[in-house]
């Protein structure tokens, strides 16, 4: 099945060559396999050292079969000589080796048994025919359990309970881890809470102080404010009172002055008015305003009439004169 | 049975609800990669694992620095409930670190968080409020939240939510209010808080009263508190069991009594007697607030006359080791003994 990769060196055209990839030589099993192997690669590989087909021993002095079937002439001669030499050696041995003497006349040499117990020599070989027939190809029997021969000394040992595995000792690290992890987690959470609690405490203390101080501040502020407002009110009041007093004093002074100033106001006023003519005698006024204009009017109208009459007269005279003139002129 | 060879199987996966965590420094980046997965189950498992890991400070810092905040911000709007719950839980844990809080403010995660206030899932809402509470607890966070206009929404939500969440909302409110009380006043927080003052749970009462303390700091707040007739309720709360509630009630009274109207109303409600009892309390906050309240109330002449008899009691407080109490006691004595 396997062949090497070397191709024949004298490749002529048409010479059959076969080449395949190198494969490990599978072991030929003694018994037939129960199921034919599908994949040849899975066939069991025997150890190449135990393969009967492999050449054993030294290979440098072995008679190597020639590659060609034709014997080499040199080899052939050598072999012939060797054969001749063997023959001669054999003849020599025959010649000089001890031989049985020739029998006397009338006698024959026969072979005689000289051992203690005689044996029947015959050609007839006692045979017992025993038939043996192999069963039809049997399946490979189950390989017997390889129980190597017992060598050495027997020694027995027994492991008592608790020697290999001591639960109490073994469980400690596991328990430590479990409990430790749980406690660690719990501690972390508790630490968190404690931290926060301490922060809150601090805050609380601060807040108390702050609240107290704040209220103190506010109280003082309020007090200040109240006092200030009170003070301002008082001051305002006071100021108002002063203002009032001042005003009253002013008023009084002003009144006195005014009175004094106005004391001779009245007569002067009267005299002024009288000068301006506001006090008049009504009859006189009446005469002045009523009668006299009327009189003047009448006089004027009378005079006008007279004037008008004179004008008319003038016109008449003029007219007449003109006519006379014209008449005179005409007469000329 | 233990054998010397390590098994070729991967280690047993103990918790199937969590993603397997890679070893060492590859854990967080791998979980972040899984968070972007399209498969919902992977995301849930990765989030569950991240949730547990992030409690460790080093892992938390690792996660923040490798940019998991952006991923979480995107996941806040996921449709799946469990994803949202776990995301909010992770954000809540990350908010406890300052680096996380910085990232919150820088990347404006508060915006999407506030939109989740109306989420139908209870656990999600609770985590959201817890995260908001944490952020509000530190100053720049509270300032940011106030500037974002979160306060009106929170005020609206106070009456709707269930108990545990209500306490959280109220404490968030009180932190915001201590920064700036005006938005809360504008959104009518005072009546809401008044209703909460009578709640059976002490945590809610405490948070509501601390919010009131903050609200009564500006002048408008004081007027509002007087108008809503809160002072009788507060005087009643002075006898409460919880020390925090008592301290806060005394604080509110002391703030409100700064204005004249507040003083008169407080005196009408009979605040002096309980306050005198509280002066000897061991709790610093209660003692200080009571002293200050008495100081403020002592500006009114008739209260002063009443308090003059108790000056020896206040003198004992002056020897207290705590400086604030000493100062408060000395100012109180000063004011009470002042003559015009």
Say if residue B34 is in the same domain as residue B140: yes
Q: Which residues in chain B are closer than 8 Å to A204, comparing Cβ atoms?
A: 285
Chain A contact for B188, CB < 8 A?
no
Q: How confident is the model at residue A128 (pLDDT cuts 50, 70, 90)?
A: confident
Q: Which residues in chain A are closer than 8 Å to B178, comparing Cβ atoms?
A: 207
CB contact at 8 A, A100 and A109? yes
Q: Where are the alpha helices (DSSP H) in B197-229?
A: 202-215, 219-227
Best CA proximity match to B244, nearest among B199, B184, B284, B296: B284
B258·A218 Cβ contact <8 A: yes
A165·B299 Cβ contact <8 A: no
Q: Which helix (H) or strand (E) holds A289?
A: none
What is the C-alpha to C-alpha distance for residues B55 and B94, in angstroms, rounded to an integer?
8
User: What string of DSSP letters covers A178-232?
Assistant: HHHHHHHHHHHHHHHHHHHHHHHHHHHHHHHHHHHHHHHHHHHHHHHHHHHHHHH
Task: Output the CA angle A307-A310-A312, nearest 5 degrees.
Answer: 110
In a domain, B137, yes or no: yes
In a domain, B212, yes or no: no
The ipTM is 0.71
Instruction: Count structural domains, chain B.
Output: 2
State the smallest CA–CA distance between residue B118 and chain A in angstroms.
27
CA atoms within 13 A on the CB side of A172: 5
User: Which pLDDT score, from 0 to 100, does residue A5 have?
Assistant: 45
Indicate yes or no: pTM above 0.80.
no
In a domain, B215, yes or no: no
Q: How confident is the model at residue A68 (pLDDT cuts 50, 70, 90)?
A: low
Q: Which residues in chain A are closer than 8 Å to B258, comparing Cβ atoms?
A: 215, 218-219, 221-222
CATH code of the domain in which B257 resides: 1.25.10.10
Q: Spell out the residues 6+ positions from residue B40 whose beta carbon is closer than 8 angstroms to its own.
A: B80, B83
Last residue of a domain, one of B122, B144, B164: B164
Rg (CA), chain A: 90
In a domain, B230, yes or no: no
Say if residue B155 is in the same domain as residue B26: yes
Window 11-30 of A, Cβ < 8 Å to B: none
In a domain, B276, yes or no: yes
Say if residue B155 is in the same domain as residue B53: yes
Say if residue B24 is in the same domain as residue B104: yes
Q: Which residues in chain B are closer than 8 Å to A188, comparing Cβ atoms?
A: 55-57
Last residue of a domain, one of B148, B164, B180: B164
Q: What is the percentage of chain B residues whose pLDDT exceeds 70?
A: 99
Q: Average pLDDT for residues A167-182, to the nearest whole number?
A: 88
Can you give the residue range of the structural domain that contains B309? 235-339
In a domain, B117, yes or no: yes
Could you report the per-residue pLDDT of B215-240, keeping only the tens digit for each?
Answer: 888 888 888 888 888 888 888 888 88
Chain B contact for A327, CB < 8 A?
no
Last residue of a domain, one of B109, B137, B164: B164
A208·B1 Cβ contact <8 A: no
In a domain, B130, yes or no: yes
User: Which pLDDT score, from 0 to 100, does residue A82 have?
Assistant: 92
Residue A8 has pLDDT above 50, yes or no: no
Say if residue B23 is in the same domain as residue B160: yes
Say if residue B24 is in the same domain as residue B142: yes
Say if residue B26 is in the same domain as residue B156: yes
């Amino acid at each position: 099945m396997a062949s090497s990769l070397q191709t024949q060196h004298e490749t002529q055209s048409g010479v059959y060559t076969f080449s395949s990839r190198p494969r490990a030589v599978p072991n030929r099993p003694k018994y037939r396999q129960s199921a034919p192997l599908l994949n040849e690669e899975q066939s069991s590989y025997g150890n190449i050292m135990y393969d009967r087909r492999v050449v054993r021993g030294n290979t440098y002095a072995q008679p190597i079969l020639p590659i060609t079937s034709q014997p080499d002439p040199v080899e052939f001669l050598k072999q012939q000589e060797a054969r001749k030499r063997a023959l001669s050696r054999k003849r020599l041995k025959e010649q000089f080796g001890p031989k049985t003497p020739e029998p006397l006349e009338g006698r024959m040499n026969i072979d005689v048994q000289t051992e203690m117990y005689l044996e029947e020599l015959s050609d007839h070989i006692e045979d017992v025919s025993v038939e043996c027939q192999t069963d039809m190809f049997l399946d490979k029997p189950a390989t017997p359990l390889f129980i190597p021969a017992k060598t050495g000394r027997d020694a027995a040992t027994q492991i008592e309970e608790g020697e290999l595995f001591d639960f109490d000792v073994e469980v400690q690290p596991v328990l430590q881890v479990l409990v430790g992890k749980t406690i660690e987690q719990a501690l972390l959470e508790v630490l968190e809470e404690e931290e926060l609690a301490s922060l809150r405490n601090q805050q609380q203390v601060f807040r108390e102080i702050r609240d107290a101080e704040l209220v103190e501040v506010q109280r003082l502020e309020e007090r200040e404010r109240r006092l200030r407002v009170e003070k301002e009110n008082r001051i305002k009041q006071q100021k108002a009172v002063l203002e009032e007093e001042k005003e009253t004093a002013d008023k009084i002074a002003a009144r006195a002055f005014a009175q004094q100033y106005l004391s001779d106001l009245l007569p002067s006023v009267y005299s002024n008015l009288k000068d301006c003519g506001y006090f008049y005698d009504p009859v006189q006024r009446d005469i002045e305003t009523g009668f006299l204009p009327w009189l003047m009017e009448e006089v004027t109208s009378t005079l006008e009439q007279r004037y008008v009459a004179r004008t008319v007269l003038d016109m008449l005279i003029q007219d007449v004169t003109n006519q006379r003139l014209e008449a005179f002129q005409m007469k000329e | 049975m233990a054998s010397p060879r390590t098994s070729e199987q991967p280690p047993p996966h103990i918790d199937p609800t969590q993603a397997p965590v890679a070893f060492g420094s590859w854990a967080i980046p791998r979980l972040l990669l899984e968070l972007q997965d399209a498969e919902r189950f992977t995301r849930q498992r990765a989030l569950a694992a991240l949730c547990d890991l992030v409690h460790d400070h080093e892992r938390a810092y690792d996660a923040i620095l490798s940019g998991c905040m952006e991923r979480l911000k995107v996941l806040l709007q996921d449709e799946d409930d469990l994803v949202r719950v776990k995301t909010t839980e992770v954000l809540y844990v990350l908010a406890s670190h300052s680096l996380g809080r910085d990232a919150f403010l820088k990347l404006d995660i508060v915006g999407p968080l506030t939109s989740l206030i109306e989420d139908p899932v209870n656990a999600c809402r609770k985590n959201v409020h817890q995260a908001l509470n944490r952020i509000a607890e530190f100053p720049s966070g509270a300032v940011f939240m106030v500037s974002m206009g979160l306060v009106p929404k929170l005020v609206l939500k106070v009456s709707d939510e269930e108990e545990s969440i209500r306490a959280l909302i109220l404490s968030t409110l009180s932190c915001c209010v201590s920064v700036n009380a005006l938005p809360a006043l504008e959104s009518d927080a005072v009546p809401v808080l008044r209703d909460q003052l009578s709640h059976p749970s002490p945590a809610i009462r405490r948070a509501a009263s601390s919010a009131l303390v903050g609200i009564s700091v500006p002048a408008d707040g004081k007027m509002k508190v007087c108008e809503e007739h809160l002072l009788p309720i507060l005087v009643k709360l002075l006898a409460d069991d919880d020390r925090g509630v008592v301290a806060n009630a005394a604080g509110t009274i002391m703030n409100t009594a700064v204005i004249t109207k507040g003083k008169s109303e407080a005196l009408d409600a009979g605040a002096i007697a309980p306050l005198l009892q509280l002066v000897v309390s061991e709790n610093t906050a209660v003692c200080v607030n009571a002293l200050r309240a008495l100081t403020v109330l002592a500006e009114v002449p008739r209260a002063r006359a009443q308090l003059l008899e108790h000056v020896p009691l206040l003198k004992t407080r002056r020897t207290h080791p705590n400086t604030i109490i000493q100062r408060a006691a000395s100012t109180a004595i000063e004011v009470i003994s002042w003559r015009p």
